[in-house]
Structure 1
Amino acid sequence: MNDIRIPLTDKSIVQLATPKEGWYLARDTELKGFFVVVGKRKRTFTVQGDLRQGGRRASSIRVSIGDTRELTTRAARAIAKEYLAQISRGQRPKTAKQDGEAGLGQVGNEVNTEVAAVTLRHAWQRYLEAHLVRKGRSEKTISGYRDHVERIFAEWLDTSLGGLAEDPARVAEKHDEITKDNGPYIANGCMRTLRAIYNHARKTNRSLPRDNPADAVDWNEEKRRDTGMGISDLTEWFRELAVLENPIRREFHLLTLLCGSRTTALQQVKPSHIDFHSRTLHIEKPKGGRKRAFDIPLSREMILCLIRAIRVGRQMYPLQSQKWVFPGDSESGHLAETKEDRDTLSKWGNDLRQTFRTIATAAGVSEFDAKLLMNHSIPGVNAGYVTRHKLLEDHLRSQQQAISTAVFSALGKFLTEDAALRGWLGHGASRRATSELGVEPGAQGEEQDKMRRAA
């Protein structure tokens, strides 16, 4: 068959005709020198360019990028651009074994690069698209990986994974360097990222060494950050929270404590996620993606917290509050940054998740129920037989209420003696919250009735 020229996409490549004999080229109309070699059994992303020396054409270099079944067109095109850039500078793209050495040996006027020549940049691009994005990982998770690769490992982006595997001492030294410059936790996290990307790359690059380069690392000791509060610590924390300037942030931190959920999940809560009739809050995108979505049973205190957040949100952000329970000035329209000055609020974020778990134990809630409430994985084969939504109807809600009751019981007399606490959570504050929602008659009026009945 004759060579053709088409816009190369995943779809157009699948639709290419298979030759009865030999092979042909499907050249990309977007990027010159980028094409697919279409054979009877295999289709291979390839790039070709002229290597010049002294301003003259020395040879034509053709480099195999990878099988179309193992790489997306987008990732292959990114690799092709890098190879073409190297060729334009008079450099030959390197194999894993030749990383840091002289150029490739030639066969005639062509050079074939082994799949093992994949660089960290190439492997990261495929891991990002095929593993993180495709599996619905959160933006926070993806940004963490991206920071490790594109900032911490910036100088290694064009280094082959094979080269790193053959020089484990280099990886161990990098871990020591990151530990010194960025701290032990970030150093370990970066190496876990490198290990995951290498393992993923090796699935389609069997010529990579079996030994993962991250195995050479002497891991830093990591201790669980014990920053949770006990019941005796809650009174002072509530006093700090009561005088927090932004009432939306105040309710956000309180809800974090009462449900023990991750802040990134609560930031994206919408009014439509709240079911006041069944008294549940749907968490659409928790850690692990949509497939791990779950419902949180709501205690009375949690319902009042959400009602106050909705009321204040409508007053402060009329437009954004139509979509988000915790609206803000961010580009997304919801609360984006949840950190506070420790001098203003001593505990927030993961501190409150630890506190929830601590208070749950003090309230007599079993470890199994606490894990279900926090959407943690349950170990053991028997966990697969637990029907969570059946427990949700009565049992888990009663456990949730027990935790909330324990939290607010810690306030005791201070709920009436402290002016800020009394104005926020005291007697009559709940009625004011529901009566000042300001919803219109009709369907929204029904919503208001549900809120009041739930409260």
Structure 2
Amino acid sequence: MADLRILLTDKTIARLPTPKDGWYLVRDTELKGFFVVVGKRKRTFTVQGDLRQDGKRASSIRVAIGGTDEISTRSARATAKEYLALISRGQHPKDEKGSPRTSQTETAGNKTAATLRGVTLKEAWQRYLDAHLVRKGRSELTIEGYRDHVERIFVDWLDTPLQELASDPARVAKRHDEITNENGPYMANGSMRTLRAVYNHASKTNKSLPSDNPADAIDWNEEKRRDTGMGTSDLEGWFAELAAIENPVRREFHLFTLLSGCRPAALQEIQPSHIDFRRRIVHIPKPKGGVKRAFDIPLSREMILCLIRAIRFSRQMYPSNGGDWLFPGDSASGHLAEGKEDRATLSKWGNDLRQSFRTIATAAGVSEFDAKLLMNHAIPGVNAGYITRHKLLENHLRCQQQAISSAVFAGLGTSLTEHQRLRGWLGRGASRRATLDAPINSSDCVAGKQVTIRPAA
């Protein structure tokens, strides 16, 4: 029977036909040199590779790992990787007695299999997680993104030595193509950026790793900036959609996302204690980049009314945790954890609104520099270090914020008075009732004083 090539798993091996005479090979499509010898009575995991001396091929050897009825395919694959790594370095995986070499007999000139295999992706990822992401205060959302790439996309590579990936960059390029087909171009590029970062971090403490990063071998997918922001002419229709959303907490969340231009993930974790109504700011403690990037958002009149309504609705709908979170929800964390909506219900949400903020800011005459400060973007150039943001916050930046909010509501035109739901939600009388119905407790102010917020005229 001719040799076969399949992805070896316990299930696929069990389904292989038994030959009437002799034996045949079934090679693994994932790990070169790893295969199963299928005979009439037994099926054996085996590896084959070229022993090299002084960089030249000395001989080709075949080494049995164990029967398929003795060990699982996953364990056999891990052992095969160790054996192949030893073979590639000119060392037979088993001693003269046919026993596997163990990590207990390391001597000069006879390195152990554990030493030779080098750091695995799993080990490198754990160190990158602890020493880089956690230590530098990266947000949970950022960490989860990296974890998804490593532990889901590259789950079958966790026990693979980085040395093995570096020596076979074509394998990495092939995986990028596979991820592109299965998960899309953005996920493929993102997961490979994670692999590149983990490898670069590991190479700092593992000088035996090649300097060439295996991720450099891939042909990156073209990524187009998502052009999903709204202009002022689009706002009337979007507000009509937003007014129809039944959950008022989610409604205020989306509105505040548009008015602030802040990342939705950061807004989800706002607490009432982060709001200082007297100074007219809200503190964002854990934005993208971690606590070291914490910043304050100046509040326009429309943003203040939005927050007051959110406080009122939160305490009415979620009495148990409405006092802990500005935008509470039914999630395990107690706050709103999912900002997605059905596009048929609300056409723009999430980062669409962040792009809309930036677009409307330009239409309102706000400079690019001021818009970057309001959105907490990094300011390029040497002059950035001389800008003291908090000195601009309570006067200049608040005026710019008010200009943007005014442009947003100006985009509603006459619909604010003609559209019944909009009038009931955002009309003059509704805003005044929201203010009067939502007394600001001392716990709502960082300054610790009760204040009165007058509705916009």
Same fold (TM over 0.5): yes
Which residue of 82, 105, 111 maps to 1:109?
105
Counterpart-to-counterpart distance in 1, 2:443 and 2:287: 30
Quick check: 1:95–1:114 contact (8 Å CA) kept in 2? no
1:300 corresponds to 2:301 = yes
Which residue of 94, 101, 104 maps to 2:82?
94
1:163 corresponds to 2:164 = yes
Partner of 2:208: 207
TM-aligned CA distance change 1:180 to 1:251, over 3 Å? same
Runs of 4+ in 1 over 6 A off after TM superposition: 86-90, 442-448
TM-aligned CA distance change 1:170 to 1:388, over 3 Å? same
Per the normalisation by structure 1, the TM-score is 0.76
Partner of 1:284: 285
Partner of 2:42: none
* Mapping for residues 410-421 of structure 1, pairs under 5 Å: 410-421=411-422
Partner of 1:273: 274
Q: Report the aligned-residue RMSD.
A: 2.6
The alpha carbon displacement at 1:138 in A equals: 1.2
TM-aligned CA distance change 1:92 to 1:180, over 3 Å? closer
* Mapping for residues 12-411 of structure 1, pairs under 5 Å: 94=82, 97-98=85-86, 103=93, 109-110=105-106, 112=112, 113-114=114-115, 117-411=118-412
Quick one: which amino acid aligns to residue 235 of structure 1? E
Quick check: 2:272–2:444 contact (8 Å CA) kept in 1? no
The alpha carbon displacement at 1:448 in A equals: 8.8
TM-aligned CA distance change 1:104 to 1:150, over 3 Å? farther
Residue aligned with 1:450, SS: coil
Counterpart-to-counterpart distance in 2, 1:328 and 1:135: 29
More moved, 97-106 vs 380-389 = 97-106
Quick check: 2:173–2:215 contact (8 Å CA) kept in 1? yes
Quick one: which amino acid aligns to residue 196 of structure 1? A
Counterpart-to-counterpart distance in 2, 1:313 and 1:432: 16
Quick check: 2:340–2:350 contact (8 Å CA) kept in 1? yes
Residue aligned with 1:136, SS: coil
The alpha carbon displacement at 1:90 in A equals: 11
Counterpart-to-counterpart distance in 1, 2:147 and 2:327: 27
The structure whose Rg is larger is 2
Quick one: which amino acid aligns to residue 309 of structure 2? R
Counterpart-to-counterpart distance in 1, 2:259 and 2:455: 17
The alpha carbon displacement at 1:329 in A equals: 0.9
Residue aligned with 1:296, SS: strand
The alpha carbon displacement at 1:94 in A equals: 3.1
Counterpart-to-counterpart distance in 2, 1:444 and 1:175: 49
Quick check: 1:241–1:250 contact (8 Å CA) kept in 2? yes
The alpha carbon displacement at 1:109 in A equals: 3.0
Residue aligned with 2:136, SS: coil
The alpha carbon displacement at 1:316 in A equals: 0.5
More moved, 333-342 vs 443-452 = 443-452
Counterpart-to-counterpart distance in 2, 1:300 and 1:199: 48
Counterpart-to-counterpart distance in 2, 1:362 and 1:121: 49
Quick check: 2:86–2:116 contact (8 Å CA) kept in 1? no
The alpha carbon displacement at 1:103 in A equals: 3.0
Q: Percent identity?
A: 69
Counterpart-to-counterpart distance in 1, 2:125 and 2:168: 19
Quick one: which amino acid aligns to residue 105 of structure 2? N
TM-aligned CA distance change 1:241 to 1:100, over 3 Å? farther
Quick check: 1:265–1:285 contact (8 Å CA) kept in 2? yes
Quick check: 1:262–1:353 contact (8 Å CA) kept in 2? yes
Quick one: which amino acid aligns to residue 146 of structure 1? R
Q: Which runs of 5+ in 1 are unaligned?
A: 1-85
Partner of 1:422: 423
Q: Which runs of 5+ in 2 are unaligned?
A: 1-73, 96-100
Instruction: Count the aligned residue pairs.
Output: 369
TM-aligned CA distance change 1:454 to 1:209, over 3 Å? farther
Deviations 1:82-130 (CA, angstroms, capped at 9, x unpaired) = xxxx999995993994389963776983353437611111111111111
Counterpart-to-counterpart distance in 2, 1:347 and 1:434: 28
Residue aligned with 1:320, SS: coil
Deviations 1:300-359 (CA, angstroms, capped at 9, x unpaired) = 000000000000001011121111000111111100111000000000000000000000
Deviations 1:37-58 (CA, angstroms, capped at 9, x unpaired) = xxxxxxxxxxxxxxxxxxxxxx
The alpha carbon displacement at 1:167 in A equals: 0.2
Per the normalisation by structure 2, the TM-score is 0.76
